[in-house]
Amino acid sequence: MTARRRNLVAASFGAVIVVVFAAVAAAVAPYLLPDTTVDTNIAAIVAAGIFAGSYLALAVGRVPGLSIDRAGIALVGACLMVATGILTPEEAYRAVNLDTLTLLLGVMIVVANLRLSGFFTLANAWLMRVARRPVTLLAAIVAISGVFSAFLVNDTICLILSPLALEMTLGLGRKPTPYLLAMAMASNVGSTATITGNPQIS
């Protein structure tokens, strides 16, 4: 392990320890300091710290030195919010929108079956046949990712189309970066058109 890697892991563990220690302090503050506003202030600071730490870890996608993914990070952040008393279990249950989860599950099942059936591979092959010019290919990728993201979850569309876009652009001898960036931006724009495109914020 390089020195830079060791420093990154040490900083990661240090940040985790600080957040957990602050969470424990917020949990015990109401019992140690009853009938004061100090515990309220501590709880607000800890809530902001947990949210900021979770958001940063979600943006990075992992915590260096720990085998934890985005789902685990979100779960740990939610558990800390409940454990510190910032959210009651009842408030945490009410924060979960089962309609959104059901919609996400249904759309992901549809996308998975489309991928297994070869639909996206056929779309990729069609693009390679008709889009020979760089501008035409870029416009086609933007249109497909935007339209698909309006009816299917944009995150899933990016995950499915990225390998296909890489294969297509490299096969045609073109740099994939502009096409991938255009696909991501078109997916975000297209997802705002319908509730199924981005149900997390709808």
Per residue, the 3-state secondary structure of 122-183, as one string, reads HHHHHHHHHCCCHHHHHHHHHHHHHHHHHHCCHHHHHHHHHHHHHHHHHHCCCCCHHHHHHH
Q: Compute the average pLDDT of residues 107-129.
A: 77
Domain boundaries, the chain: 3-95, 98-191
Q: Compute the average pLDDT of residues 146-154.
A: 81
Q: Compute the average pLDDT of residues 63-79.
A: 77
Say which range, 11-20, 83-92, 187-196, has the weakest mean pLDDT: 11-20
DSSP assignment string, 12-74: HHHHHHHHHHHHHHHHHHHHHSTTSSHHHHHHHHHHHHHHHHHHHHHHHSS-TTS---HHHHH
Confidence of residue 35 (pLDDT cuts 50, 70, 90): low
Statement: residue 113 has pLDDT above 80: yes
Say which range, 81-85, 151-155, 195-199, has the weakest mean pLDDT: 195-199
**d(C-alpha 158, C-alpha 183), whole Å:** 7
Q: Compute the average pLDDT of residues 45-65.
A: 77
Confidence of residue 40 (pLDDT cuts 50, 70, 90): low
Say which range, 3-7, 92-96, 118-122, has the weakest mean pLDDT: 3-7
Q: Residue 168's Cα: distance from chain center in Å?
A: 26
Statement: residue 25 has pLDDT above 70: no
Query: Residue 166 has what pLDDT?
Result: 82
Query: Residue 114 has what pLDDT?
Result: 78
Query: With pLDDT > 70 as the criterion, what percentage of the chain qualifies?
Result: 73
Closest CA to 148 of 115, 116, 177, 100: 115
**d(C-alpha 154, C-alpha 189), whole Å:** 9
pTM of the model: 0.53
Query: Residue 13 has what pLDDT?
Result: 67
Q: Compute the average pLDDT of residues 154-182.
A: 81
CB 161 within 8 A of CB 116: no
Query: Residue 117 has what pLDDT?
Result: 83
